[in-house]
Amino acid sequence: MAGNRFTVHSTAIGLIILMIMMTLTPLAEESQLDEKKVMEASGRQLDDVDCSGLTFEDLFDYNFALFDIDIEDDWATSSMSATAYVNGSNSATVRENLDGLFDGAPGGNNSWISTDEREAVREIGPKCIEDMDTRLGLREGIPHRGGVDWNDFEFVEEGIALDEVDLVPEGNSEERNCQNLLASSNCTEVPVSVTDDLQISLFVKNGESNNLRFDQLPNQGDSNFTLALNVTNMTNAELMLTFPVLQGLRIANFSMRDDGVEISSFEPEEIYLPDGRLRVSQKVNYDKADWPIGRNLFIDFTTDAPESNDIPQWTGAAPSDNTIIPIMNGGEYSAVLGDEISTWASDTNGWNLECTFADVGWSSRQNQDGDLLVTSPSGTAITTAECAIKDPFGAQNNDTLTFTFGQPFTATAEITDGENVDFTVTPTGLVSELSVAAHAHQMQIMGTMRSASITNAPVTISLPMEGLRPGSVMVMGSAQNSNMLNFDFMLDFGLEKVSLPPVLEIKVNFEGKNGTWDASGLKFTLKGEVIDPDGEAVTLSLALCGSQASDFTKVGKNWEIDVSIATCVQQGITDYDVTISATDESGVISTLSVMVKDPYANDDDSQSTTDSDNGDSESSGLPGVSLMATLTVTLLGAAFALRKQEE
């Protein structure tokens, strides 16, 4: 078990950038190569880089790091995630060190960290990490404290993925486009001196099952074994190590040693998960002033029975005997959440619920969060199960509880009027009476709750969709009975709420007209209201004489716009037929046609039905250009002619 591994966040990125530097440096000197050739040549050299045995711990000052390792059931593979949190001045140091490693590459060592550098880290990282030592090993037999052949963990390149948060913080006030010639078209960079917090993560790649492997333990953990970890330079971190289900597995001893001398340290914590697995939590730290002292952690495991062991006990929070536990039949269903079921019993070493079902096709288990997952056949089958509580060392309480499992109702739903969901509930006979409360639901938005009492016949509950946005709508609610645990449900019937068009109105002025003209006679003001029934944002636009305008002033539901008639005057148009459009976020459009009469026209000043004149029923021909408008156009023409003569 050689080298340093648990600085994955630093080691990986540092080594990756070194690889990039090594491949790009000679290419940067060949100025005649285009970008494509540079990338091709770079790719050919990556396979020749050896990252084994290298560490970059001195390049990274993280504030805290969390390492989570799950050993798989085969005792030969493992899944690891690691996240390092770098804050304040430490983050500036990280960025500066990374940029310095690009010395000689385009854009490297220029006191700016770029998105191109970040993408290179993500792309090439797994190849480098695969070469590194993990610093983690196992060995069966008597407890070991070094000086033996360890069963070292190794990285699996295909299973490794890297990511970061805010290495190049988006929207930073000093952000700019990358300045080097070979930068990608969308490359941005920030000074390495910025102190925005950042995170660096390693995890299992999508589609892969693990990213670590080791030689399978001959006895697969069923005999004594020791775990060893080199924690040198791990300044502030926590290790979470989870083992497969193995009854009786426990920590027998541990030791932290500096150059072979035992020192005091944090004790590992045993956590027995409800699914039967043992999780070990270990805090580690290392003062930089202690360098170059080598620090190693050893934890001894055994399956030997402890000298004493408590029997798990039911608590007063446990359901009474013959309680009904509701589920949705057909497949695996989360019947009771872990937070609730954890209150049913107690044991110093943890416990889990084991149920024996009366009928074939039924089973249950608890996941690592403690949720009770029940598998059942399709339909509306009902069964009973005898459930016991048992601790990780096999101690079981002789008192058991019998529960009934089944689906309390079936349901359908449809939208018939566009405003309500008709939710029809049909009882299955699991209980004699149900009190059901439900509402139409969207993510963080819920409609008005409606309730009904259901006995032996179907009942339809009308669920209002008022306040919900257009799009997918589900039904959420709960069902209750005095002898049944609460049945909380979220049902997806594939319903869609259709977007309603915005409601657009015009306001008339004190004279009863649609538009209010200004003194020049060249523009008028329109005012009105717009409301979207679905609560979506609305965009307004206006069309007049072939011209478009969108400079509306909006305050709440009220809108206002000044409309120029200059385009109409140029075309000799004297009918001011305005079309206003309101478009909601779903793209549904409402339009309103408004006729605005020229007050200077030689007629009775009446307007269309959309611009009333307080009952004046006389009407004249098409309105002409106003006197003021005519004078203005004439004066402008005369001034233009005079200017041409002067020239």
135 has a pLDDT exceeding 50: yes
Same domain, 129 and 31: yes
Distance, in Å, from the CA atom of 93 to the CA atom of 113, rounded to the nearest integer, reads 12
Q: How crowded is residue 304: how many other Cβ atoms within 10 Å of its Cβ?
A: 10
Q: Using CA atoms, how far apart are residues 59 and 126, in angstroms rounded to an integer?
A: 19
Strand order in 295-302's β-sheet?
151-152, 136-140, 225-230, 295-302, 250-258, 261-263
More confident residue, 97 or 201: 201
Q: d(Cα 132, Cα 155) in Å, to the nearest integer?
A: 7
Looking at the structure, do residues 561 and 617 belong to the same domain, yes or no?
yes
Examine the domain organization and report whether 261 and 324 are in the same domain.
no
Does the pLDDT at position 479 exceed 60?
yes
Mean pLDDT of 11-33: 36
What are the E-state strand segments in 317-443?
A: 324-326, 331-336, 345-346, 352-357, 363-366, 372-376, 383-390, 401-406, 409-415, 420-427, 434-442
Average pLDDT over residues 116-122: 82
Residues 154 and 88 in one domain: yes
Helix crossing, 8-28 with 35-46: angle to 10°?
130
Tell me whether residue 615 is exposed, middle or buried, using C-beta atoms within 10 angstroms of its C-beta: 0 to 12, 13 to 18, 19 or more: exposed
Going by C-alpha positions, the residue among 233, 304, 243, 294 that lies closest to residue 268 is 243
Cα-Cα-Cα-Cα torsion 214, 219, 223, 227, nearest 10 degrees, comes to: 0
Concatenating the DSSP letter of every residue in 460-511 gives: EEEEE-TTPPSEEEEEEEEEEETTEEEEEEEEEEEEEEPPPPPEEEEE--TT
The number of helices, as runs of H, and strands, as runs of E, in the chain is: 7, 44
Backbone angles phi, psi at 620, to 5 degrees: -125, -170
Mean pLDDT of 174-201: 91
Instruction: Say if 645 falls within a structural domain.
Output: no
Binning pLDDT at 50, 70 and 90, where does residue 607 land? Answer: very low
DSSP secondary structure, 26-90, as one string? HHHT-TTS-HHHHHHHHHHHHTT---TT---GGG---SEEEEEEEE-TTSSEEEEEEEEEE-HHH
Residue percentage of the chain with pLDDT more than 90: 57
Tell me, yes or no, whether 162 lies in a domain.
yes
State the pLDDT at residue 96.
85
Tokens of 335: 């019947």
Q: Taking 60 as the threshold, does the pLDDT of residue 13 lie above it? A: no
SS3 99: helix
Higher pLDDT among residues 307 and 106, named by residue:
307
Domain that includes residue 321, residue range: 315-406
Residues 263 and 322 in one domain: no
What is the spatial distance between Cα 33 and Cα 194, in angstroms, rounded to a whole number? Answer: 33
Residue 596 included in any domain: yes
Interatomic CA distance for residues 45 and 320, integer angstroms = 69
Q: How far apart are CA 430 and CA 380, in angstroms?
A: 9
Say what the pLDDT of residue 628 is. Answer: 34
Position 300 pLDDT exceeds 90: yes
* Contact status, residue 620 vs residue 604, Cβ threshold 8 Å: yes
How far, CA to CA in Å, does 239 sit from each of 5, 68, 88, 273?
12, 6, 24, 16
Q: How far apart are CA 241 and CA 273, in angstroms?
A: 12
Q: Are 541 and 569 part of one and the same domain?
A: yes
Specify whether 232 is located in the same domain as 246: yes
What tens digit of pLDDT does each residue of 327-341 get?
A: 999 999 999 999 999
The β-bridge partners of 593 are 579
Q: Assess whether pLDDT exceeds 90 at residue 594.
A: yes
CA distances from 158 to 32, 468, 631 (A): 35, 44, 80
417 in the same domain as 390: no
Q: Please, what is the average pLDDT of the chain?
A: 83
Q: Tell me: the pLDDT tens digits for 221-236? A: 888 999 999 988 888 8
Mark whether 461 and 566 lie in a shared domain.
no
pLDDT score for 58: 52
Please enumerate in sequence order all residues whose Cβ is within 8 A of that of 530, keeping only pairs 6 or more positions apart, or say none: 502, 503, 504, 505, 538, 540, 554, 557, 559, 582
More confident residue, 301 or 96: 301
CA distances from 47 to 35, 122, 132, 614 (A): 20, 16, 15, 86
Burial of 89 (0-12, 13-18, 19+ CB in 10 A): exposed
Q: Could you tell me if 12 and 74 lie in one domain?
A: yes
CATH code of residue 379: 2.60.40
Instruction: Give me the pLDDT at residue 519, please.
Output: 87
What CATH number did the domain enclosing 563 receive? 2.60.40.10
- Is 193 within a domain? yes
Question: Is residue 639 a part of any domain in this protein?
Answer: no
* Residues 138 and 178 occupy one common structural domain: yes
Domain boundary among 406, 425, 447: 406
Hunting for tokens 């770098």 — which residue is that? 86
Q: How many domains does the chain have?
A: 4
Q: Is 206 exposed, middle or buried (0-12, 13-18, 19+ CB in 10 A)?
A: exposed
253, burial (CB in 10 Å: exposed 0-12, middle 13-18, buried 19+): exposed
Q: What is the mean pLDDT of residues 246-268?
A: 93
Answer for the pair 351, 312: CB distance below 8 angstroms, yes or no: yes
Answer whether residue 25 is part of any domain. Answer: yes
Give the model's confidence band at 602: pLDDT under 50 very low, under 70 low, under 90 confident, else very high. low
pLDDT band at 520 (very low <50, low <70, confident <90, very high): confident
Q: Describe the strand order of the beta sheet including 576-584 as a list of residue ranges.
A: 547-549, 538-544, 576-584, 589-596
Write out pLDDT tens, residues 27-77: 223 323 333 333 333 333 334 445 677 654 555 678 899 999 999 999 999
10 Å Cβ neighbour count for 553?
A: 11
C-alpha 401/C-alpha 190 separation (Å) is 63
Do the Cβ atoms of 500 and 589 come closer than 8 Å?
no
| Beta carbons of 361 and 332 less than 8 angstroms apart | no
Domain identity same for 289 and 358: no
Question: What is the rounded CA–CA span in Å between residue 265 and residue 280?
Answer: 15
